[in-house]
Amino acid sequence: MKQVNFGVVVFPGTNCDRDTFWVLSEVCKSKVRYVWHTETSIDDLDVVILAGGFSYGDYLRSGAIAHYSPVMQEVKRHAEKGKLVLGICNGFQILAETHLVKGAFLHNKTQHFLCQKQHLKVATTNSPFTGLYRSGEVIQIPIAHGEGNYFLPQKDLEEALEHDLVVFRYCDENGVVSQDTNPNGSTDSIAGILNRQRNVLGMMPHPERSSEFEMGSIDGKRIFEGIIQWIQSA
């Protein structure tokens, strides 16, 4: 069985790196190492994860300064090789700033930081990250963000819909997707989206916070398990 090597990138201000490391190493029993933001070699990794937090204090825009970190050039090359990249919350914002996924982020429509349990509807299972879900399934993964209002221009939204790039949408417990069930105002209630090559996923909810029964949900665990299964079966 192929060993899957994960790397969790740590920027100054990252604060979900240990949570993510714990889930990968102790829950999923995978090999994982921390990747400092100044590193310039990540060739040993199969999967790079940009964890949540407030990289560089989220000055300017969330993720904007992290875009210039040396490691991000390596992350781009990693993605160009077809290897997997997962950006969670602030990691999603960094992916947008580096154009590894399209779109940009605005302040939540409420203008308040949101930290809550959140229902999501699985929009596609056609990705290395979502193979263990069912299309249309309602899952629960928490959110914690102040700038989670994902904006996607109409042209890019049409492309995303045409190519089945939307992975998760915000919904209620019954799977209803509407502005009332959209906590932050994101375009088309998008909570997670792929790049065109389908090897990069950006998502605002925190799967590492829903990977153990003690946390109230294990729905997020299937993302990490799905990644492992996809690589091992490739």
Give the pair of three-digit tokens for residue 59: 């000055």
Is position 26 annotated as part of the catalytic site? no
Q: Say which of 89, 119, 147, 171 is annotated catalytic.
A: 89
Q: What is the DSSP string of 158-217?
A: HHHHHTT-EEEEEE-TT---SGGG-SS--GGGEEEEE-TTS-EEEESS-GGGGSBGGGTB
In the chain the first and final C-alpha atoms are separated, in Å, by: 11
Q: Say which of 74, 97, 147, 208 is annotated catalytic.
A: 208
Is position 67 annotated as part of the catalytic site? no
Distance CA 73, CA 175 (A): 38
Is position 89 annotated as part of the catalytic site? yes
Q: Say which of 37, 119, 145, 206 is annotated catalytic.
A: 206
User: What contacts 99, CB < 8 A, 6 or more positions away?
Assistant: none
Question: What are the beta bridge partners of residue 149?
Answer: 106
Q: Which amino acids are annotated catalytic?
A: 89, 206, 208
